[in-house]
Amino acid sequence: MKKLVSAIAFAAAASVALANGVTANVLGVLRVDSAEKQTIVAVPWVSASASGGSAISVADIVKTDNLTAGDRLCAYENGAYKAWVLANEGGTLVWEAANNVTVGGSTASEGAANATIARGGALLLIRDNPGPCFFLVGQYTSAAAGTVNLPAGAWSLVAPPSTTDFNLNSATWSTPNAADRITIKNASGNMVRMKYDSDSEKWLGRDMSDPSSTWSAANAVVPAGCGAWYQNAGANAVTVTF
């Protein structure tokens, strides 16, 4: 297995001396309250560097302190998973690329050692013995995230790069296909399915575990630090700008 390259260790607390003063980088830490074995992880931060990057290393985004060896991180793209496993190297937990991980009945391929992920994207965190929470870390930025492309006829992982709960109707969407669906876990850990209502031009969600739940824009809320599965069931790609 290949060890992922981490930038946080040497750059997160760095400061840059400028001609007119000193500008310090700001480290962001977000607690994600989830006791689920599988959690879709958002990317609210950028890489830690003097200038601040647009993408962060997979090795850096999920803090390892309260995780356990054997936990997995998975990316999903073009219908396939790529995986990294948390390994104990001399008492230090590090993310290593792995090719022997099974996710959702399929075998993941080995992720790249220098893999990065941009804000708006998402990863799947799998914990065999999950605690009540985990933490996301990175360098804070006030810049807006870019536009995420959700390919036609495919599933995608997507997440608002927000440090607070986020209603998906606050984003800017190209017109979704009629049969497109979004699936999330809400703050109670219940599965919520969403469909796009062309009349109101809003995503409407319904708590699938609650028989009394109705389709409502108020249910289209992604918990802070979490993401969603987007099922593009149409012939056209869809874009979202957070």
- Residue ranges of the chain whose pLDDT lies below 50: 1-2, 5-22
Nearby residues of 43 by Cβ (< 8 Å), 6 or more positions away: 56, 61, 117, 118, 119, 120, 121, 122, 123, 136, 138, 159, 161
pTM of the entire predicted model: 0.88
Residue-level pLDDT at 16? 38
**CB distance 138 to 194 below 8 Å:** no
pLDDT, tens only, 167-217: 999 999 999 999 999 999 999 999 999 999 999 999 999 999 999 999 999
Residue-level pLDDT at 50? 65
Residue-level pLDDT at 6? 47
Domain positions in the chain are 8-15+24-139, 147-241
Residue-level pLDDT at 54? 78
Q: How far is CA 164 from CA 32, 139, 221, in A?
A: 10, 17, 10
